[in-house]
């Protein structure tokens, strides 16, 4: 490493994109440097509007995100986009998504184009969600606002990732396929705003009606998720979509529910870190842990007591 995290952080705050990229790599890698970056970033976080965008594969998330970014940039935002793809080991959706975006990013005024980063699975499901949350925090701390996180909605990691957003946009396209898939993955109930994308195709009105019916079944005391029809490829409806996203943030602020949302997530994130560390203790056991497991195997002590002993003897700051 050529530069220290603190120095990188300063450069990143000044708009140095390579420095931001380096910081994100450190967070992704984890370990002591990752922890240090998290520590430096932490006091400066909380200012950004974090917007999650999810939905079935190919529904048009990247195209939508790209258009939303343009809307945010037009309002003076310093936009960052994070594409999280748990299904892909470095190729596929996220990368394709980037290609879609690059075309439109060319249209942004010099120096205003969004900062874009893709994160793919490293074969470690809990790790990806944590790395993504860590990355959002770094992007926030170095001054990006809003931060738009795209993730394919097919599983638990995705739910965890979008759950970390202040505002969640769930995208579906005409035809029940996407909505059913999103419903199975538990995404529909996470939605703060719905986008019925590809509304240039037949069936958009039906998709909207189906979503309305589903919403009618639920309880929405102070925010009923609005449904916006969009054609991302043409940019149609995206301004309205972005307006609803911004109204949702205002709603959170006015009802003081932003802190509550973020508070609930904090507990969850701590739980995840703990979980990761404990997994690490078993996946990469120290001599002491090996010995304790041998003793359990030989019937010398019960597993619960071995677990207790391991927990008690954890040195502070020992990051897996």
Q: Name the residues that contact ligand GTP, by CB under 6 A.
A: 57-63, 93, 96-97, 100, 152, 197-198, 200-201, 231-233
The entry of ligand GTP, Mg ion, none that residue 57 binds, CB within 5 to 8 Å by partner kind: ligand GTP
Residue 62 contacts Mg ion per CB under 5 A: yes
- Coil, strand or helix: which one is 186? coil
Query: CA 105, 69, 154 angle in degrees (round to 5)?
Result: 105
Q: Which is nearer to ligand GTP, 77 or 153 (CB)?
A: 153
**Shortest reach from residue 74's CB to ligand GTP, in Å:** 20
* Partner that binds at residue 60, options ligand GTP, Mg ion, none, CB closer than 5 to 8 Å by kind: ligand GTP
- The Cα–Cα gap between 319 and 280 comes to 9
Distance CA(164)–CA(265), nearest Å, equals 7
Nearest distance from residue 198's CB to ligand GTP, in Å?
4
Whichever of 150 and 269 has its CB closer to ligand GTP, that residue is 150
Residue 59 binding: pick among Mg ion, ligand GTP, none (C-beta 5-8 Å cut-off by kind): ligand GTP
What is the helix (H) or strand (E) element at residue 112, kind and residue range?
none
State the nearest-atom distance from the C-beta of 319 to ligand GTP, in Å.
32
Cβ proximity to ligand GTP, 96 vs 278, nearer residue: 96
**196, β-bridge pairs:** 172, 229
Taking the complex as a whole, how short is the minimal distance between the CB of residue 100 and Mg ion, in angstroms?
A: 7
Q: Which helix (H) or strand (E) holds 4?
A: none
The answer to whether residue 97 forms part of the interface with Mg ion (CB under 5 A) is yes
Residue pair 52/162 in contact by the 8 Å Cβ criterion: yes
CB of 94 to ligand GTP, least distance (A): 7
Nearer to Mg ion, 140 or 150 (CB): 150
Pick the closest to residue 189 from 175, 179, 197, 199 (CA basis): 179
Contact partner, 46, from Mg ion, ligand GTP, none, Cβ < 5-8 Å per class: none
Compare residues 102 and 266 and give the one whose CB is closer to Mg ion: 102
Residue number with the smallest Cβ distance to ligand GTP: 60
Which tokens belong to 13? 């705050």
Phi first, then psi, for residue 69 (nearest 5°) are -60, -40
Whose structure tokens read 């990806």?
Answer: 128
> 27 with 38: CB under 8 angstroms?
yes
CB of residue 59 to ligand GTP, shortest distance in Å = 4
Residue number with CB closer to ligand GTP (37 or 128) = 128
How do 80-85 and 147-152 pair as beta strands? parallel
Choice between 12 and 116, CB closer to ligand GTP:
116
Q: Render 214-283 in DSSP notation, one character per residue.
A: HHHHS--SS-PPPEEE-BGGGTBTHHHHHHHHHHHHHHHHHTTHHHHHHHHHHHHHHHHHHHHHHHHHHH
Segment near Mg ion (CB under 5 A); pick from 9-17, 58-66, 74-82, 169-177: 58-66
Distance CA 24, CA 47 (A): 18
For residues 8-37, which are near Mg ion according to CB under 5 A? Answer: none
Binding site for Mg ion (CB under 5 A): 61-62, 93, 97
């Amino acid at each position: 490493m050529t530069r220290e995290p603190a120095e990188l952080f300063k450069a990143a705050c000044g708009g140095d994109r390579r420095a931001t990229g380096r910081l994100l790599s450190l967070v992704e890698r984890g370990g002591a440097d990752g922890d240090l970056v998290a520590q430096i970033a932490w006091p400066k976080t909380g200012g950004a509007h974090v917007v999650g965008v999810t939905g079935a594969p190919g529904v048009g998330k990247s195209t939508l995100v790209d258009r939303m970014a343009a809307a945010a940039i037009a309002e003076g935002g310093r936009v960052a986009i994070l594409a999280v793809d748990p299904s892909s080991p470095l190729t596929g959706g996220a990368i394709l998504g980037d290609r879609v975006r690059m075309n439109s990013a060319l249209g942004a005024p010099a120096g205003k184009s969004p900062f874009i980063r893709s994160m793919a699975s490293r074969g470690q499901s809990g790790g990806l969600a944590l790395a993504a949350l860590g990355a959002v925090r770094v992007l926030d701390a170095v001054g990006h606002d809003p931060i738009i996180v795209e993730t394919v909605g097919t599983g638990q990691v995705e739910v965890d990732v979008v759950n970390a957003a202040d505002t969640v946009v769930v995208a579906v396209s005409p035809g029940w396929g996407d909505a059913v898939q999103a419903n199975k993955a538990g995404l529909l109930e996470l939605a703060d705003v719905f986008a019925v994308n590809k509304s240039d195709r037949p069936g958009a009105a039906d998709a909207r009606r189906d979503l309305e019916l589903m919403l009618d079944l639920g309880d929405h005391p102070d925010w009923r998720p609005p449904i916006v029809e969009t054609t991302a490829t043409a940019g149609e409806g995206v301004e309205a979509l972005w307006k609803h996203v911004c109204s949702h943030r205002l709603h959170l602020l006015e009802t003081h529910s932003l802190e509550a949302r973020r508070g609930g997530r904090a507990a969850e994130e701590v739980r995840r870190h703990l979980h990761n560390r404990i997994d690490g203790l078993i996946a990469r056991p120290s001599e002491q842990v090996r010995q304790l497991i041998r003793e359990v195997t030989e019937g010398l002590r019960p597993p619960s007591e071995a677990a207790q002993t391991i927990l008690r003897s954890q040195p502070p700051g020992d990051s897996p």
